[in-house]
Structure 1
Amino acid sequence: MSNQTGKISSTRAGLIEFIMFFTYAFFAVNWIAGSTLTKQIMDYFQLKSFASATFISNAITLAKIIGNFLAAGILNKLLPKKAIGLGSGLIVLGSLLAILAPQYWLFILGRFIMGFGGALYVVYFSPVVIHYFTPEKRPTINALNGVAYNFGGILAMIVVGPVIVWLNTWQYSMAFFAAISALLFVLWPFIGQDFELNRSSGATQAPYTVRQALKEKINWLLPFTYSGLLTFYIVLLNIFPISGATAISAKTLSTLVAVGGIIGSLLAIALSKVYFFRKPVIRLAGLVMTGSGILMFNTSNGVIASASALLIGVSMFLPVTSLMMIPQELPDMTPARLTTIMGLFWALSYIIETVIYFLIGFIIDRAGYATGLNLALVASVTLFLGSFLLPETGHKK
């Protein structure tokens, strides 16, 4: 694998990581701010049915899938500096369009564009990691990137409420966070740079197409493994709080999962310094996540429910670093090939999650929340099962 880090300024690498981390974190803040302001947005556009508001979440899911599929092609065409800048620019453009939209369909279009930019951004983390950082530093950087959205979520919990009170209207409140994203977008041309996409171990590799990627088993195993975690996470934050089965408030639940995510990411960084295998970490996290979910879904004790929520957050984010490292450590990996793999990873993960989430909703309508939540628990087992199917790319120290 190409490793030109010795020739690259560590300051430049750090600044690139800083810009990318906070761009994605404030994408999360802006997105969560829009979700928090749903009632005001519905009133502004005179929407009577709450179902109309669900078009927003459907738009982001569609944008993520399309953006993930197209990310590799855009990177190859524009090269890293412009491709990453495009992702950042779309986040800002989508935010502004949503804020200025005179009609609801334009608001949804703005959120779609913003989601598309975020989808590109999350894919471009990986090629940047393997180009700018040594193998020893990659687990740490992967852990930071993996928790960027969660960091934005915690930041949103702290600042969105006061900003709404301060600025009164949903447009001004969202514009405040969009301005921060715009500042990061303006800084990127001075910090970002292009790099070779198809070099590995000093040799130029042939381009790696989506068609080739779809023929390789690992590119199906990676999203299969992650899809259960993703589905469980979304169910936990959107369905479980309204199921009537919670022993703690929805806000407390979200906070504990988010804090657990930060702890899990810090543990992943610490663990990467002393343990170098990937599959056992994924396997243990899968067991703890599903086991904690069973406990939380079936307890009426607030303390047990809180501890379970915290453990779920830890076990959701602890294995992400190991999961991201597996494709990065495959033989002859290049930034271009990794971008294709990660684009498929995110796209297929969200497609699987969307199908399962629909089935959960379908079952809840006919058999109640308990049955639907049990299906979410069954889906979460893919993290544990995938740990037996994925290749072990780690090694002894």
Structure 2
Amino acid sequence: MFAHQMVTDWRLTLTCFASITLILFLAWVWKAEDFTTADDAGPDGESYGYRDALKDSFLWRYGIAFASFLTLYVLSLVSFKKVFDEYTILNGSITNLLISGFAILGTFAGIYFGNKGLPRKPILFLAGIGMVSSFTFTLIFANSLPILSYIFVSISGFCMFLQYPIFLNLPHELKGMTPKKLTIMFGLFWAIAYAGQTIANIIWSFILGSAGYVPSLVFFIAVSCIYISLIPTFPETREAQTGNVQKAS
């Protein structure tokens, strides 16, 4: 009954989400602590401006990679519910539940491995392959082996959020990072990422409506693979600490 009201009454939905956001904001203000990104940052780091950011190849690769990630993440939770219901024998509500449920477990796993000080690129690369390949197998078996598809979509949700905390912390761990540089980078990063995801979403919707289900899936998986292809181009932010972590263990 409550779930039905949340869907049918947009005022109730917005009120609930706005209230939750306000509560979380107040909790953050109450408990948040100031921190410095890098204590030894020099004057060169502080001179970083928006013009420098636009010339930063890492920022563009980082933003485009996240746009690819968001394409899989957003479409799998928002758009594919109706797609699964219409074009496959899968239940879209169940796929959403499995993705989001295993994503919670993946988030805790990502926090755990992120705090271990392990090299970042292998984790991101392997989790990215697991995320995209699992969702691909979900689509392949969607009309023949639904149980197998549900297993693969769960794995995809887990891998999706296993890398999420690690990925978003990469700029914090870059050598010479400063609060000013970080603020500028993330301001442009979110713009690049969501603009790219929006464009991909529009193209995917157009292909689905004009060319059909299968061509739209080919485009969807191809865009998602951009994330995997860009991970190896990132700098390894924990390479120098790997030996120390192994000795300490």
- TM bucket (normalised to shorter chain) is 0.7 to 0.9
Aligned equivalent of 1:228? 68
Deviates more, 1:229-238 or 1:203-212: 203-212
Query: Shift in Å at residue 234 of structure 1?
Result: 2.1
Does the Cα contact within 8 Å between 1:226 and 1:382 map onto a contact in 2?
A: no
Deviations 1:111-147 (A, max 9, x none): xxxxxxxxxxxxxxxxxxxxxxxxxxxxxxxxxxxxx
2:182 is aligned to 338
- Give the Cα–Cα distance (whole angstroms) in 1 for the partners of residues 41 and 101 of structure 2: 42
Distance 1:220 1:273 in 2: 26
TM-score norm. by structure 1 comes to 0.53
Aligned-pair identity (%): 26
Q: How far does residue 203 in structure 1 lie from its aligned partner after superposition? A: 5.4
C-alpha spacing 1:353/1:160, structure 2 compared with 1 (3 Å) = farther
Residue of 99, 117, 120 corresponding to 1:278: 120
The reply on whether 1:255 has 2:97 as its aligned counterpart is yes
Q: Which runs of 5+ in 2 are unaligned?
A: none
Q: Which runs of 4+ in 1 moved over 6 A?
A: 196-199
Match of 1:321 among 165, 181, 186: 165
Give the structure 2 partner of residue 241 of structure 1: 81
Q: Is the 8 A contact 2:41 2:176 kept in 1?
A: no
For residues 305-356 of structure 1, what are the alpha-carbon distances to aligned partners after superposition, in whole Å with 9 as ceiling and x for unaligned? Answer: 1111111111111122222232111112112211211222211011111111
Residue matched to 1:359: 203
Q: Distance in 1 between matches of 2:117 and 2:36?
A: 29
Distance 1:363 1:176 in 2: 35
Letter in 2 for 1:233: Y
**SS of corresponding position for 1:239:** helix
SS of 1:251's equivalent in the other structure is helix
Per-residue CA deviation, residues 199-243 of structure 1 (Å, 9 max, x unaligned), is: 742756534211111111100111122221211122223333333
Alignment RMSD (CA, Å): 2.8
Kindly indicate whether residue 52 of structure 2 is the aligned counterpart of residue 212 of structure 1: yes
Give the C-alpha shift of residue 175 in structure 1: 2.9
Between the aligned partners of 1:250 and 1:297, the Cα distance in structure 2 is 12
- For residues 45-78 of structure 1, give each alpha carbon's deviation from its aligned partner in whole angstroms, at most 9, with x where no partner exists: xxxxxxxxxxxxxxxxxxxxxxxxxxxxxxxxxx
SS in 1 for 2:177: coil
Whole-Å Cα distance in 1 between the matches of residues 4 and 209 of structure 2?
A: 37
Which letter maps to 1:234? V
Residue 201 (structure 1) aligned to one of 40, 54, 57: 40
Q: How does 1:1-397 map to 2 (within 5 A)?
A: 161=3, 164=6, 170-172=10-12, 174-185=14-25, 200-201=39-40, 205-243=45-83, 244-274=86-116, 276-299=118-141, 300-395=144-239, 396=242, 397=245
Q: Once the two structures are superposed, what CA deviation does each residue of 1:154-194 show, in whole Å capped at 9, x if it has no partner?
A: xxxxx9617649xx95434543443444445556665567x
Partners of 2:87 and 2:125 lie apart in 1 by 28
Change (3 A) 1:280 1:247: farther
Superposed CA offset, 1:70-90 (max 9, x none): xxxxxxxxxxxxxxxxxxxxx
Q: Deviations over 1:29-49 (max 9, x none)?
A: xxxxxxxxxxxxxxxxxxxxx
Structure 1 contact 197–336 (Cα < 8 Å) conserved: no
Q: Is the 8 A contact 1:290 1:377 kept in 2?
A: yes
Code of the aligned partner of 1:270: Y
1:373 offset after TM fit, Å? 1.4
TM-score, L = length of structure 2 = 0.82
1:223 and 1:345 in contact (8 A); partners too? yes
Q: How many residues align?
A: 236
Assess, with a 3 A threshold, how the Cα gap between structure 1 residues 199 and 378 changes in structure 2: closer, same or farther.
closer
